[in-house]
Structure 1
């Protein structure tokens, strides 16, 4: 705030709390100089929720003590920390090889967020949002967001998923779309190999590459009934 804004703030505070009014010209000048020295970097108001008059009114309403510059600066620092805590730096548009321009854009964005000139930039939600039409068309074209080369390289490390994808690609029903009645694997989870010890308790819980036959039969039965459901309706 400049000196004129500080004077306007003191006049506003004086209307709410006459104890802060200085009738002597010298005392009023010293008060104005003191407040300007301590609040020069605090804005009077921003476009996104900060107003020094609101902070002063809140203090006068809740505290029996006179308003001090710290009672304005403290809420301002909390406002800055909250905004910077919710901000995630977006990728600068500057050339990454130009370190000075890249850093300057990052610093400028953070300063704009901290001073209330811009809203914090947060990560987009992973769910509940509409997919970009261009990305949706691309996914329909390639069939998956994972490139075929990466999928083939990962196949030895996730054999159950690779077997499932191969079965679906061949037109077979998705066995993992139903619950396994043998190992009680839930929908979407692969079957597990359970060995029964002589004492009757299960030993081992390793993941099977292929689902149990009863699960495949159940998925095939449900898959065969799907085309007939609209006709029955």
Structure 2
């Protein structure tokens, strides 16, 4: 905040708090008060463009004794009260900021770091809006969708065959589905309660290492999948 903003703020506070009004009545004391407040609140903006912060609201919050805080009964508002109110807003701004790469040669380490710090300081003091990650708004490329529809799978059959020996359970499952059989991993197992897409579990391993993973689904799971998918087990 600038001295003129501080002076206007103190003048507004003085309308409701005679303790501040008395400080402003003395010319020398008023000058010292404005200087002290300006130095303390140099990195606090008066407002933010999005309306999420207004120093006037912070002052009103203090004097309305929110949350059972009765400090205003015993002392006039001080700069540290406004700093405390601004802190969570500054934190929220910095959490949204993504530190975009500066337009500086990255080989110039000192210049690159200086640009990063300058950008962060501008956001932390409300002089610049945080730069957030842009949301993806478009769907898949039409060309990719057409090619995937033509192939039928993200993994071409030739590649799938090459990978079969490295993923035997998945290969066996895919072969069963291609042959018209039920897909047991598409349902929850009623026996071991394995979740969808998770293999069935067997007995407990020794030494507390958890349960064994079965290479074949429980019969009851196969039956449930066949029933839900309208296929013969």
Question: Normalising to structure 2: TM-score of the pair?
Answer: 0.67
Contact 1:89–1:121 under 8 Å retained in 2 = yes
**CA distance in 2 between partners of 1:55 and 1:155 (Å):** 66
Question: Normalising to structure 1: TM-score of the pair?
Answer: 0.67
Q: 5+ residue gaps in structure 2?
A: 66-71, 205-209
User: 1:139-154 maps to which residues of 2 (within 5 A)?
Assistant: 141-142=147-148, 143-144=153-154
Specify the alignment match of 1:69 in structure 2.
79
How many residues of Structure 1 are paired with residues of Structure 2 in the alignment? 208
Question: Which residue does 1:138 correspond to in 2?
Answer: 144
Secondary structure, in 3 states, of the residue corresponding to 2:212? strand
The RMSD of aligned alpha carbons is 4.0
Q: 1:104 to 1:38 in 2, by over 3 A?
A: closer
2: CA distance between counterparts of 1:90 and 1:162? 44
| Deviation readout 1:91-126 (Å, 9 max, x if unpaired) | 5375885565764664455334323332473797xx
Q: Does 1:56 align with 2:59?
A: yes
Residue 5 of structure 2 contacts residue 46 of structure 2 at CA under 8 Å; is this kept in 1? yes
C-alpha deviation, 1:66, in angstroms: 0.5
Q: Name the structure 1 match of 2:38.
A: 36
Alignment of 1:1-233 (within 5 A): 1-21=1-21, 22-48=24-50, 49-62=52-65, 63-64=72-73, 65-84=75-94, 86-87=95-96, 89=98, 92=101, 98=107, 100=109, 103=113, 106-107=116-117, 109-116=119-126, 117-119=128-130, 121=132, 132-134=138-140, 138=144, 141-142=147-148, 143-144=153-154, 156=166, 159-169=168-178, 171-180=180-189, 183=192, 185-194=194-203, 205-224=211-230
Q: Offset of 1:69 from its aligned partner?
A: 1.7
Partner SS, residue 83 of structure 1: helix
